[in-house]
Amino acid sequence: MNTQSNSVSESFDTPGVAPTVMSATRPLYWSIRRELWENRMIYIAPLAVAAAVLFGFLISLIHIPGKMRAASALDPMQQYMIIQKPYNLAALLIMGAEFLVAIFYCLDALHGERRDRSILFWKSLPVSDLTTVLSKAAIPIVVLPLLSFAVTIATQWIMLLMNSAVMLGSGMSAAVLWTHVPWIQMSVLLFFHLVAGHGLWYAPIYGWLLMVSAWARRATFLWAALPLIAIGILEKLAFNTSRFGKLLESRISGGGKGGDFPLDPAMHSMMHLELGKFLFAPGLWIGLALTAAFLFAAVRLRRNREPI
């Protein structure tokens, strides 16, 4: 008996058995996956919009041969605009759905776990408040733009194949669809637009919404909007200016015309891809600093707030 106990104790003390060390990024990775499991609208909404776009485009293909015959008499630039229009519309609709999902996700991300008391369970796991908040912030800043890009590209290529099939079936050449529109260039511009604009440029908006979600007990949308409206009204009454309102408008519109990042996905030239100008824009780094402050506040609030 003593021999067995000694052998067991020696087996635990054997230096060859090393404890498993978890990677620092592994909890964040699994936390992001948990968000995707629990919030299926993150990917269902863009897919539903893409399906609606494809259905509408399928119906519109009835008139495509006539439109293409009429466009053949136009100059190449006008042909380009006519061909590109439905594809740009598809991208705008999917991006609009992605932005709305990001807003409502952020408003419910930290508020929802307190409301259904799941925070009591998740706080018992070896996942810090910082990791939890960062995983939730990664959804609108990183995951949703990349998902929107993938869904948009897939939708546009399906539309392109459908359009080509209809034109070939009508006895027309589909070469104009492939030669008059720079599809690879458009894909690169779309990727930049989503990652830089909908991700980094909108990051302070998402950070603010997450902080409100961690603080408010109810009506998160009102608590997110009313302070901003109140600041604008007080500024107008006190100084007769609207700088705060213009600042918010500039952030949502991407800096306005000629600003730091013009949020216009219908760009026609790689010259618009001013990556250097965007990366060195003061508005970008001020926004990221505000995002860090909002997320830090969300971490502290989550740590101290009780379930609703």
How far is the C-alpha of 107 from the C-alpha of 105, rounded, in Å? Answer: 5
Confidence of residue 7 (pLDDT cuts 50, 70, 90): very low
**Is residue 86 situated within a structural domain?**
yes
**Is residue 77 situated within a structural domain?**
yes
pLDDT at residue 117, rounded to an integer: 61
**Is residue 3 situated within a structural domain?**
no
Q: Which residue has the higher pLDDT, 261 or 249?
A: 249
**Is residue 62 situated within a structural domain?**
no
Which stretch of 23-27, 43-47, 149-153, 207-211 has the lowest confidence by average pLDDT?
Answer: 23-27
| Most distant CA pair in the chain, distance | 98
* Structure token pair of residue 59: 């119906």
Question: Is a pLDDT exceeding 90 seen at residue 208?
Answer: yes
pLDDT at residue 226, rounded to an integer: 92
Q: Which residue has the higher pLDDT, 21 or 54?
A: 54
- The mean pLDDT value of the chain amounts to 80
What confidence tens digit (pLDDT) does each residue in 254-282 have? 654 444 554 444 444 444 446 677 778 88
Mean pLDDT over residues 34-50, rounded? 91
pLDDT at residue 118, rounded to an integer: 60
Question: Is a pLDDT exceeding 70 seen at residue 10?
Answer: no
* Structure token pair of residue 97: 């759905």
Which stretch of 6-15, 138-147, 234-243 has the lowest confidence by average pLDDT?
Answer: 6-15
Confidence of residue 233 (pLDDT cuts 50, 70, 90): very high
Helix 220-239 and helix 76-115, axial crossing angle in degrees, nearest 10: 110
pLDDT at residue 134, rounded to an integer: 92
pLDDT at residue 53, rounded to an integer: 94
Mean pLDDT over residues 238-250, rounded? 87
Question: Is a pLDDT exceeding 60 seen at residue 22?
Answer: no
Q: Which residue has the higher pLDDT, 263 or 152?
A: 152
Bin 255: left if φ > 0, else alpha if -120 < ψ < 50, else beta: left
Mean pLDDT over residues 43-71, rounded? 85
**Is residue 122 situated within a structural domain?**
yes
Which stretch of 38-42, 162-166, 268-272, 292-296 has the lowest confidence by average pLDDT?
Answer: 268-272
**Is residue 1 situated within a structural domain?**
no
Domain coverage including residue 144: 27-56+68-304
What confidence tens digit (pLDDT) does each residue in 180-193 have? 777 888 888 889 88
pLDDT at residue 283, rounded to an integer: 85
**Is residue 15 situated within a structural domain?**
no
Q: What's the predicted TM-score (pTM) here? A: 0.81
Confidence of residue 140 (pLDDT cuts 50, 70, 90): very high
Q: How many domains does the chain have?
A: 1
CB 177 within 8 A of CB 164: yes
Mean pLDDT over residues 75-84, rounded? 71
**Is residue 92 situated within a structural domain?**
yes
pLDDT at residue 123, rounded to an integer: 60
How far is the C-alpha of 141 from the C-alpha of 194, rounded, in Å? Answer: 10
Mean pLDDT over residues 129-154, rounded? 93
N- to C-terminal Cα separation, the chain: 55
pLDDT at residue 197, rounded to an integer: 87
Say which amino acid occupies 276.
G
CB 220 within 8 A of CB 108: yes
Q: Residue for token digits 């003390």?
A: 13
